[in-house]
Amino acid sequence: MGILVDRNSRVGIVGITGLDAMAAAKDMLNYGTPVLAGISPGRRGERIQEIPVYDTVRQAVEEQGVNTMLIYAPPAFILDAVQETLASDIKLMVIPTEKVPNQDVLKAIYEIKAVGARMIGPNTIGLIHPLERVKLGAIGGDKVERCFIPGCVGVISRSAGMTAETAHMIKKSGLGVSTAVNIGGDALIGTTPKELLELFERDPQTKAVILFTERNILLEEEVMEFIGQGSFSKPLIAAIAGKHTLHMLKKPWLGYEKIADESADKWSEKLKRLKAAGVHVADKYDDIITILQDLELEESWVV
């Protein structure tokens, strides 16, 4: 149960010899994540945190059956790492690397979509499935239970830090997390909230989902359309940062952006439409707790 990862995930880490990757690998292993291989060119035969290192993704797949890839390559090498991962027919990859050039992300997304694979990120702190104790990336650090305990609430967050804080709010409300995914804060991301809602809809463990976004016209439109079609039957709680302030910070510059920018009026109109579509919009972030409690969800996954 949960989405994207479970006990059957066989995780590999591209760039495992880097400092961030090594630190994440240690916490992932301690949590119980099945990390089976690292990939770092020219380093085959070494071990990082007891994890065997290979030169190529193909070797890691052939020798360890890796089916899920965490990619910590530097920005300039992300597109190549994505291509190498796809070439070994791996369908799920998570990319924590920040500052990947837009044109490389566009190409990566294009190739991933062409073969029906999935990319989380870039610029993500990762994802976590507390019930099966699997996490990809630094999410939760070395004190996972401080925020993430098993439960029935899915989390989709634009913000890395607020993924943990949102899980903490769920814990405060007496519930826990099914799967939490930080989709990444960049303008271009591999997997959108709507795509994750499709997965959460089918997941028996998940009974409600919290979506934390920063005011963003496109992601919300897509979610609204999805909900409007009746495609998501579970309660969705939206916490939207910048809903009162982003227009204050954002001043349009050039012609195109003026066309794309939405006025404050349009924005309040959209909030109304979100509410009308049945989304529980948390006016203040704290409202998440009362909304969750009012839903009277039962943690029936408990064995």
Partner 1 sequence: MARLLENEALRILADNKLPVPRFEYAATPEEAKQAAENLNVPVVIKALVPVANRGKAGAVVFADEPEQAALNTEVLLGSSVQHCLVEKVLICEKLNTDQELFVSITIDHGLQCPVVFASTAGGVDFEEIVSRNPEKIRKVYVDPYKGLPDYVAKETWADLGLKGSVLRDAAMILSKLYNVFGAYDCDLLEVNPLVITKESKICIVSAAMTIDDAALFRHPELNHVLQMGNDYAWRALTSMEKDIVDINETDPYRGKVMCMELGGGDIAFMCGGCGGSLLMLDALLQYGGKPANYLAFDGNPPERKVYGLTKVLLAKPGVRGLFVCANIANDVQVDVVANGIVKALQEAKKSGDFPVVVRLAGVNDEIGREIFNAAGVEYYGEEITMTMAAKRMIERMNQIKAG
Least Å distance, CB 222 to partner 1, is 7
* Footprint (CB under 8 A) of partner 1, residues 69-88: 75-76
Q: Contact region for partner 1 (CB under 8 A) — 37-45, 129-137, 162-170, 199-207? A: 162-170
Q: Judged by CB under 8 A, does residue 156 bind partner 1?
A: no
Among 251, 263, 265, 296, binds partner 1 (CB under 8 A): 251
Using a 10 angstrom Cβ sphere, with 0-12 exposed, 13-18 middle and 19 or more buried, the burial of residue 182 is buried
| Cis check: omega of the bond before 193, within 30 degrees of 0 | no
Q: By three-state DSSP, how is residue 165 classified?
A: helix
Q: Judged by CB under 8 A, does residue 271 bind partner 1?
A: no
Other C-beta atoms closer than 10 Å to the C-beta of 109 total: 16
Q: By three-state DSSP, how is residue 106 classified?
A: helix
Q: Contact region for partner 1 (CB under 8 A) — 44-52, 100-108, 229-237, 294-302? A: 100-108
Contact by Cβ (8 Å): 75, 105: no
- Residue window 41-60: x/- pattern of binding to partner 1, with contact defined by CB under 8 A: --------------------
Q: Judged by CB under 8 A, does residue 157 bind partner 1?
A: yes
Alpha helices by DSSP H, 122-230: 160-172, 193-202, 217-228
Q: Judged by CB under 8 A, does residue 174 bind partner 1?
A: no
Q: Contact region for partner 1 (CB under 8 A) — 48-56, 223-231, 244-252, 269-277? A: 244-252
Contact by Cβ (8 Å): 44, 57: no
Q: Judged by CB under 8 A, does residue 195 bind partner 1?
A: no
Q: Measured between alpha carbons, how far is 291 from 252 in angstroms, rounded to an integer?
A: 35
Q: Measured between alpha carbons, how far is 166 from 27 in angstroms, rounded to an integer?
A: 21
Q: Which two tokens stand for residue 170?
A: 């769920």
Q: Contact region for partner 1 (CB under 8 A) — 32-40, 42-50, 159-167, 268-276? A: 159-167
User: Footprint of partner 1 on this chain (CB under 8 A)?
Assistant: 75-76, 99-104, 106-107, 109-110, 138, 140-143, 146-147, 157-162, 164-165, 168-169, 172, 185, 187-188, 212, 214-215, 218, 221-222, 239, 241-246, 248-256, 258-259, 283-286, 289
